[in-house]
Amino acid sequence: MILSTFKKENQGFMRSGRIRIALLTVLLLIAVAFWISSKHYEATNRMYDSAKTSERANWDGQGEKNPHSAAHYGTYAFKPKYPLSLIDQGVDKYVGSSIFLEAHARHEAQFSEAADQTGLARFGNLSPDFILLFIMPLLIILLGYNSFTKEHEMGTITLLRSEGASFYKLALGKWLSLFFPILVITSLLFLGAGLVLSQLPDYGVFQWSALGDLYGVYLVYYIIFTNLVLFISAKSKRSGVSLVLSLSLWILSCLALPKAASNVAGHLHPYPTRQEFAAEVLKDKENGLDGHNPWNKKAQTLQAEVLAEYGVDSLHQLPFNFDAYRMQKSEEHEAEIYYKHYDKLKEQYRKQAEVYDGLAMVSPYLATRFLSMSLAHTDYATHWGFADAAEQYRVATQAFLNGNFAENSKYGEWGYRADADFWKELPPFEYDPPELSTIVSQNQRKLWVMALWCIGSFALLLFTTKKL
């Protein structure tokens, strides 16, 4: 009975003109979205390589220069484009792709893609993740909303009941017939993505295992929707009612609840405004060590401690340039200030993430959305990791420059210049995203939520099928 039901349902799909058109439309949208995304990925990688090479050449080619002048000349840290962003672009287009690194200040990432787009971008982009998260559940609804209601409307349920047919087998056949085209479409998309990425000459951190995990997350998402749509169809007596209820489920789960979750998280755990954040940082800086002001109270204290340590009574008698030493101590102090305040921001982010995890219990979209971004390295956690790595590199760069200035000049010798080859000794900036095992460990709660949704929706469908 399972096989006969499966064949019957699929024959019905193929005979229905609206379903054939819907399937072809979705396949066309996926092909176009995948082509656009792959071209964007390749173009972004070319720009990244070009910018990284050009900026390094600028740094290495500074010529003879005072190290502190080079510290203010600065350099850039560029965020690479990760392979699975081909499928899910996440927050990358909003958070910026490069950070300017200079003395005395920690800067935010800038040059986001969204900043260069027109107001039309508010309508969204055609991307694979949009198809996977929004359109595929709609396709499940279109294919399955009348799976059981049509049996009621044609009177076949009564006939099957009188013959003692197994409704579990009937439900399983309908489930397989509904999920099969979704499985085929999703498999084609992920297989195509894997083949494209594996053929790129510099596909970097791409892993088939990560792609497989992402594929599995979306399959579970579709299993949940398949179960819920069939449950609604089994509980409804008319196809029209089933369609309205299924669409209402989609609107609530994919549109309304994610927006509500964002508002709730922002209300419970708000971020400070940019002005408030800058004011708090400035306040701590003013109460600390100023590397450019020798009359600063903390600078005077440092000076007295160093003179006492070396047993001299003049800064000119020190075996190093105290100006550079003081600036380095100031950099270390300011770095601690930035770490403190950015840790507060990250704590707010973690609290908001907990709110999203809790609300994922009423919307499988939320868990899928965040798992997808995390596996694709396009989530906020990856961006925070990049920003922290850039800050650590900035601090190390200042120590590198101030160390050269201090060791190779005397106090007051601001005319000192490092030789032209010195700049090449600074290692290039590199950032490695979290390993797959780390990502899985960090997202245990979301994985449990997905598992509960999957098991719960199956149980709901089986219980309802029993009462057909």
Comparing C-alpha atoms, which of 137, 131, 132 is closest to residue 29? 131
In a domain, 217, yes or no: yes
The whole-number pLDDT of residue 158 equals 64
- Residue 427 predicted with pLDDT over 80: yes
Of 115-129, 309-323, 339-353, the range with the lowest mean pLDDT is 115-129
**pLDDT for residue 93:** 84
Whether residue 65 is predicted with pLDDT greater than 70 in this model: the reply is yes
**Residue 202 CA from chain centroid, whole number:** 21
Which residue carries 């019957």 as its tokens?
8
Phi then psi for residue 65, to 5 deg, are -160, 150
Range(s) of the domain holding residue 204: 2-292+322-409+435-466
Q: Mean pLDDT, the chain, as a whole number?
A: 88
Rounded to whole angstroms, the Cα distance separating 380 from 377 reads 9
Neighbours of 244 (CB within 10 A): 14
Cβ atoms within 10 Å, residue 438: 12
Rounded Cα distance between 101 and 104, Å, is 9
How far separated are the first and last CA of the chain, in Å rounded?
16
Residue 299 lies in a domain: no
Query: Sorting pLDDT into bands at 50, 70 and 90, what band is 206?
Result: confident
> Do the domain assignments include residue 53?
yes
Average pLDDT of the segment spanning 413-425? 92
Percent of the chain with pLDDT over 90: 59
3-state secondary structure 50-71: HHHHHHHHHHHCCCCECHHHHH
Q: What is the pLDDT of residue 192?
A: 87
Whether 305 is in a domain gets the answer no
What mean pLDDT do residues 393-403 have?
95
Taking only the tens place, the pLDDT of each residue in 228-253 is 999 999 998 899 999 999 999 999 99
Question: What's the pLDDT score for residue 163?
Answer: 61
| Overall domain count for the chain | 1
Q: What is the per-residue pLDDT across 94-112, written as a single tens digit (0 to 9) for each?
A: 888 899 999 999 999 988 7
d(CA 287, CA 304): 18
Examine the pLDDT at 7 and tell me if it is beyond 80. no
Does any domain span residue 300? no
Q: How far is CA 355 from CA 257, 264, 339, 374, 415, in A?
A: 12, 8, 24, 17, 56
Task: With respect to residue 297, please indicate whether it lies within any of the assigned structural domains.
Answer: no
Dump pLDDT digits (tens) for 440-467.
999 999 999 999 999 999 999 988 887 6
Say whether pTM exceeds 0.85: yes
| pLDDT over 80 (residue 191) | yes
pLDDT band of residue 160 (cuts 50, 70, 90) is low
- Residue 263 is predicted with a pLDDT of 95
- Pairing mode of beta strands 105-106, 75-78: unpaired
Give the C-alpha separation, 273 to 452, whole Å.
37
Helices 257-268, 364-375: axis angle to 10 degrees equals 80
List, for residues 336-367, the tens digit of each pLDDT value.
Answer: 999 999 999 999 999 999 999 999 999 999 99
Q: Are 215 and 186 in contact (CB under 8 A)?
A: yes
Residue 424 inside a domain? The answer is no
**Token pair 């219990």 is at which residue?**
361
Domain membership flag for residue 90: yes
CA angle 157, 465, 250 (to 5 degrees): 105
Q: How confident is the model at residue 329 (pLDDT cuts 50, 70, 90)?
A: very high
